[in-house]
A and B are shown apart, each in its own frame.
Chain A
Amino acid sequence: MAQMTMIQAITDALRVELKNDENVVLFGEDVGKNGGVFRATEGLQDEFGEDRVFDTPLAESGIGGLAIGLATQGFRPVPEIQFFGFVYEVMDSISGQMARMRYRSGNTVNMPITLRSPFGGGVHTPEMHADSLEGLMAQQPGLKVVIPSNPYDAKGLLISAIRDNDPVIYLEHMKLYRSFRDEVPEEEYTIELGKANVKREGTDITLIAYGAMVQASMKAAEELEKNGVSAEVIDLRTIAPLDVETIVESVKKTGRAVVVQEAQRVAGIASQIVAEIQERAILHLEAPVLRVTAPDTVYSFPQAEEVWLPNHKDIVNKANEAMNY
């Protein structure tokens, strides 16, 4: 075991897979010699060579096409999109192409691609860096969307994502990169994609979250506990496909739920979760399922992040609203 930040756990997972499988190739803007703008790929080009870890021209669509083409030749591409706000440039390669390849070829061509990309607010980035656009990806059949919330999950999920034979969008929250350390096994291990994690058991209300909102929910749960409310916290880990079973099981037990996301109310995946709960567990509900989200504006200017981004206080308030319904 070692104490690692999430970014170190990610680098470690990439190293494990580069070592394990000679078909794994890493590429993107400044991921080679520079080691990535966040140092996620630091030292990997030195260790594995320019043939395995390399820089590309500055063009996201080209990077997506490169990944697709390499996949047809038996490679296992792990491209990086520098910030997920830039995904619009590569939407066709992702949603229009790699997500559909297995289907359009009648299950004869698959795309074992893991697209890594940072996102998320709270670190005062310039425009189009922090936007939560996972909802766009979650709506595309053929993709899986993974969002780890801690170093341990980050490593196990990334190894699973790379080994998956279908395209995975792996989103890394920038605020979580170095904000805390965790015990992470040095050896390889995997965490199954599509499986949520019950981070905290509770009996009164279920808080369903992902990304940076997991920590906020944990903090909220502690405060709620002080007032005698026992909150169960579910970290989705994979937001597409959803682990509906785990969610519904928890809600049936607690009878109340709040879905928490950093994305705007019209975005993200909270609405999908609410819909699944009401279809499958309405007779168990003591109160409507409520959502904690950002307001439906364009992502905040850096100086307004503090008042704009949802936080643990919003979660406590919403949970109390559900408790007192």
Chain B
Amino acid sequence: MKRTNEKVAEQFPTFQILNEEGKVVNEEKMPKLSDDEFKDLMTRMVYTRILDQRSIALNRQGRLGFYAPTAGQEASQLGSHFALEKDDYLLPGYRDVPQLIWHGLPLYKAFLWSRGHFAGGQMPEGVHAMVPQIIIGAQYVQTAGVALGMKKRGEKRVAVTYTGDGGTSQGDFYEGMNFAGAFDAPAIFIAQNNRFAISTPVEKQTKAETLAQKAVAAGIEGIQVDGMDVLAVYVATKEARERAINGEGPTLIETLTYRYGPHTMAGDDPTRYRTKDLDSEWEQKDPLVRFRKFLEDKGIWSEEEENEVIERAKEEIKAAIKEADGVPKQKVTDLIGNMYETLPQNLQEQMEEYKAKESK
């Protein structure tokens, strides 16, 4: 008997609520959000688009360091985050700084992380999140552990993590989901499929037709979502959260999305591997454009309001950069002091050495 891939892929159709024109195509799944909540979602997306534009500019001026552009992924990143509660635990990848910021990481700390300052990794009290993960896949196995911890404590919380399409090829991607499944742990795994891992198209990662179907290997729920549709991403995450806190185990959510910018600001040039046609095809799917239309049709969004958000974003970014500039420079003694609770012999000795050096 031939097991066909088609039959598997058929179980993972793309979930959509808003089409590219901002029209509701799935009334039944329409989330019951208040006007203020709809506007809050739009505010976050606009703000984050500006944050991306400003971050790229600041990076070019040398006022930021490592930066992975986010434009295009606002619905995927913020729609999913909007479905979470403050107490949920976030395990972001390196491109997932926006979720961290909306989860409570102050903007100036996000900038410090970009520059490479330890204070950027110091989450404020009550912000349940890990520092962005550079090792692709590591956040997935850790998420299984965070979620199991919540389950053992009997808490109604979830652990949420993100990776990209390339990341689904890692062993840790599979192990993380499989562990969470075996322990029925309250975890949400999000694979943001922006079609490229640096220059490698998703077709070179796997022959699987969807990434969502990789959930089958772990025996967990999987869903493919239009990642440019903020409402669909929100609903998929919300439902996954409900299942998780009801003890029904983890979910893998694949969001079909796109990054308009380069992979990172460290010299990647997407014109080497992406066509203009593909770029413009995805620009027409811009999550901001369709959600703006939706809100304008409802009569709850105006250009004026959007400009207010833009101005506020620019001002706050300016203030945050200034605040980051004011943070004291790192000293080797700081770095040594952050290694262990009690310094071992070798570091005690080196601490004295650098104290002397720094006092000169």
Q: Which residues of A contact B135 (CB under 8 A)?
A: 92, 96-97
B166-203 residues at the A interface, CB under 8 angstroms: 171-172, 175-176, 178-179, 182
In the complex the two chains form, is B179's CB within 8 Å of A102's CB? no
B115-167 residues at the A interface, CB under 8 angstroms: 118-123, 130-131, 135, 138, 140-150, 152-153, 159
A187 in the interface (beta carbon within 8 A): no
Q: Which residues of A contact B123 (CB under 8 A)?
A: 105, 108-109
Report which of B119, B340, B345 forms a contact with A242, defined as CB distance below 8 A.
Answer: B345
In the complex the two chains form, is B118's CB within 8 Å of A97's CB? no
A241 in the interface (beta carbon within 8 A): yes
Q: Which residues of B contact A104 (CB under 8 A)?
A: 118, 121, 131
Q: Answer whether A96 and B138 are a contact pair too, CB < 8 Å, given A105-B121, A106-B119, A142-B339.
A: yes
In the complex the two chains form, is B89's CB within 8 Å of A72's CB? yes
CA distance A207 to B148 in the complex (A): 46
Q: Which residues of B contact A93 (CB under 8 A)?
A: 138, 141
Q: Which residues of B contact A243 (CB under 8 A)?
A: 345
Count the A residues whose beta carbon is within 8 Å of the partner chain — how many? 44
B346 in the interface (beta carbon within 8 A): yes
Q: Answer whether A244 and B131 are a contact pair too, CB < 8 Å, given A92-B138, A141-B339.
A: no
Stretch from A56-64, A258-266, A302-310, A314-322 that touches the partner: A56-64
Q: Answer whether A59 and B145 are a contact pair too, CB < 8 Å, given A65-B140, A166-B340, A243-B345.
A: no
In the complex the two chains form, is A65's CB within 8 Å of B345's CB? no
In the complex the two chains form, is B175's CB within 8 Å of A65's CB? yes
B344 in the interface (beta carbon within 8 A): yes
Report which of B122, B141, B338, B347 forms a contact with A65, defined as CB distance below 8 A.
Answer: B141
CA distance A25 to B153 in the complex (A): 13
In the complex, the chain B residue whose C-beta lies closest to that of A240 is: B344
Chain A's nearest CB lies how many Å from the CB of B177?
Answer: 10
In the complex, the chain B residue whose C-beta lies closest to that of A195 is: B345
Q: Which residues of A contact B148 (CB under 8 A)?
A: 66, 69-70
B335 in the interface (beta carbon within 8 A): yes
In the complex the two chains form, is A72's CB within 8 Å of B146's CB? yes
CA distance A274 to B150 in the complex (A): 47
B6 in the interface (beta carbon within 8 A): no
B277 in the interface (beta carbon within 8 A): no
Report which of B122, B141, B150, B335 forms a contact with A66, defined as CB distance below 8 A.
Answer: B141
CB-defined interface of B234-251 with A at 8 Å, one 1/0 digit per residue? 000000000000000000
CA distance A59 to B345 in the complex (A): 35
B337 in the interface (beta carbon within 8 A): yes
Q: Which residues of A contact B347 (CB under 8 A)?
A: 241
B36 in the interface (beta carbon within 8 A): no
A194 in the interface (beta carbon within 8 A): yes
Chain B's nearest CB lies how many Å from the CB of A61?
Answer: 5
In the complex the two chains form, is A244's CB within 8 Å of B345's CB? yes
A107 in the interface (beta carbon within 8 A): yes
A74 in the interface (beta carbon within 8 A): yes
In the complex the two chains form, is A62's CB within 8 Å of B176's CB? yes
CA distance A221 to B338 in the complex (A): 42
B303 in the interface (beta carbon within 8 A): no
CA distance A102 to B147 in the complex (A): 20
Chain B's nearest CB lies how many Å from the CB of A64?
Answer: 7
In the complex the two chains form, is B335's CB within 8 Å of A103's CB? yes
In the complex, the chain A residue whose C-beta lies closest to that of B139 is: A65
B341 in the interface (beta carbon within 8 A): yes
In the complex the two chains form, is B341's CB within 8 Å of A166's CB? yes
Q: Which residues of B contact A242 (CB under 8 A)?
A: 345-346
Chain A's nearest CB lies how many Å from the CB of B174?
Answer: 9
CA distance A234 to B239 in the complex (A): 60
Chain A's nearest CB lies how many Å from the CB of B204?
Answer: 23
In the complex the two chains form, is B179's CB within 8 Å of A59's CB? yes
Q: Which residues of A contact B121 (CB under 8 A)?
A: 104-106, 108
In the complex, the chain A residue whose C-beta lies closest to that of B141 is: A65
Chain A's nearest CB lies how many Å from the CB of B339?
Answer: 6
In the complex the two chains form, is B131's CB within 8 Å of A105's CB? yes
CA distance A245 to B147 in the complex (A): 43
A64-78 residues at the B interface, CB under 8 angstroms: 64-75
Q: Answer whether A59 and B119 are a contact pair too, CB < 8 Å, given A69-B145, A74-B149, A97-B142.
A: no
CA distance A110 to B337 in the complex (A): 13
Chain A's nearest CB lies how many Å from the CB of B132?
Answer: 10
CB-defined interface of A79-111 with B at 8 Å, one 1/0 digit per residue? 000000000000011001100001111111110
A278 in the interface (beta carbon within 8 A): no
In the complex the two chains form, is A65's CB within 8 Å of B149's CB? no
- List the interface of chain A (C-beta within 8 A of B): 25, 51, 56-57, 59, 61-62, 64-75, 92-93, 96-97, 102-110, 141-142, 144, 164-166, 194, 241-245
The 3 A-B residue pairs with the shortest CB-CB distance in the complex, in nearest-first order: A69-B145, A65-B141, A73-B149
Q: List 21 A-B contacts (CB under 8 A).
A: A59-B175, A62-B178, A65-B140, A65-B179, A68-B142, A69-B144, A70-B149, A72-B146, A73-B145, A73-B146, A96-B135, A97-B138, A102-B339, A105-B130, A107-B122, A110-B341, A141-B339, A142-B339, A166-B341, A241-B345, A245-B345
